[in-house]
Structure 1
């Protein structure tokens, strides 16, 4: 059974505001793979577990028809409110029950979501809906993250890791898939032609407020908020102050770079 942790309107709004889109390096790896594998035009792309649509919008810049699917109505509403592209649409449905015809999808993607699905059922759906010679691109960012600003990058990264470690005490057991670089998910993909890339690094432009907002958006923090709301709020406030003090600035809108490592599983279904 899928795990549903991102369904409330408040969490969906935070997710839309602070979750970042796939970075340039990850985008290029996916697009290059598709050029290598595909001879026919890609007509239909389905982005599963799309959340508030950060990855789906990237896909809509490159392909004819893109559909984002997520089990959360609140997330889908955020995605719809954020996008007006005519080739992009969204629907509410479970990842394990996709409303597409057998062999109808040219490219199926999922960004930082598959670890929440019932993996066995999801992979059966992938095999059912993807066309012969169709492709999949499944990725997640990892906990290998660092912050970069002037000569205080090491200090900022240390503060980031201390806060992350406190929050991650509330992690769901399914986060183990991320910690293991999606190895089990890779093995479950029912295609012979597949590969897993674990060393994709992206530098995401962000602000101090964005980093704090990212913490607020993750599922362990939402669990922390439910259990200890005052302590959770205080942690974010203190973390922001520590960042600003280390940087010697006063504005939470001060830009910095957020470096993150991605894992990406790429596969092509046989003819």
Structure 2
């Protein structure tokens, strides 16, 4: 899950620790689509903008070979250090210049990454590397998260929304593609056989500390941090304090659930 702006070793470690793998219902949408399109053989999948590799590994059981690519050397290094599947490897390269032969790839994916790409150039690469009848799946989660804990879910969600409202002031303009539910990504996909699935809802268990770490890993927070370090740190500190007070607990290791909405653009290349 790539981040285009803050390419540091810290952020690679932060991604590895706080970013989650594509959740269950999103995976069901993608793999059901592959079954519908009867994608076979399932030899080579390429996960573009893979970040530290959480998304890449979910493909390992279904493909003979999986390659994760990212423009960040730090992210790829973090992915390599935690690699646990013999058929998964990683390469440093831009999304718009993939090191694969024409018509050699069965599936191209990008999880929470495609909005950072030069989309017209990336789509040309997708068309070039995919074999006839190969597929593409490009997904992201909406910034509209919800929080769930006993009887204070609504208040926790309000606090999170307020914090995100501050952070959105520091968002890169490319985040508008996320806010627009990847309609631009869908429109630019050069295949006739394509669809955009919205409202893919999942709940992910996290601790309060992990929620704060997740917010810290966001590109918009990193921009805020560079612009006004004290204000940025204070925002997350106060957000955590408000969470704990609302929940009536003293430990930031207390578990809750984060509700997320994913959108996924799917396409199948013609013959």
Class of the TM-score when normalised by the shorter of the 2 chains? over 0.9
Alignment map for 1:56-205 (pairs within 5 Å) = 56-205=56-205
Unpaired runs of 5+ in structure 1?
none
Residue deviations 1:68-121 (CA, integer Å, cap 9, x gap): 000000011111112221011000000000000000000000001111100110
Q: Secondary structure at the match of 1:54?
A: coil
Aligned partner of 1:52 in structure 2 is: 52
Do the aligned partners of 2:39 and 2:135 also contact (CA within 8 Å) in 1? no
**Distance apart, 1:39 and its partner CA:** 4.7
Do the aligned partners of 1:3 and 1:116 also contact (CA within 8 Å) in 2? yes
Tell me the distance in 2 between the aligned counterparts of 1:266 and 1:123. Answer: 13
**Distance apart, 1:64 and its partner CA:** 1.8
Tell me the distance in 2 between the aligned counterparts of 1:84 and 1:199. Answer: 32
Q: Which runs of 4+ in 1 moved over 2 A?
A: none
Tell me the distance in 2 between the aligned counterparts of 1:53 and 1:101. Answer: 23
Aligned partner of 2:224 in structure 1 is: 224
Aligned partner of 1:233 in structure 2 is: 233
Q: Secondary structure at the match of 2:144?
A: strand
Q: Secondary structure at the match of 2:147?
A: strand
**Distance apart, 1:60 and its partner CA:** 1.5
Aligned partner of 2:23 in structure 1 is: 23
CA RMSD of aligned residues (A): 1.2
Residue-pair matches, total: 270
Residue deviations 1:119-173 (CA, integer Å, cap 9, x gap): 1100000000001000000000011210000000001001100111111110011
With the length of structure 1 as denominator, give the TM-score of the two structures. 0.97
Tell me the distance in 1 between the aligned counterparts of 2:170 and 2:270. Answer: 41
Do the aligned partners of 2:144 and 2:161 also contact (CA within 8 Å) in 1? no
**Distance apart, 1:3 and its partner CA:** 8.4
Residue deviations 1:195-248 (CA, integer Å, cap 9, x gap): 000110011111101110110010000000101111111111111111111111
Q: Secondary structure at the match of 1:107?
A: strand
Do the aligned partners of 1:111 and 1:140 also contact (CA within 8 Å) in 2? yes
Unpaired runs of 5+ in structure 2?
none
Do the aligned partners of 2:147 and 2:153 also contact (CA within 8 Å) in 1? yes
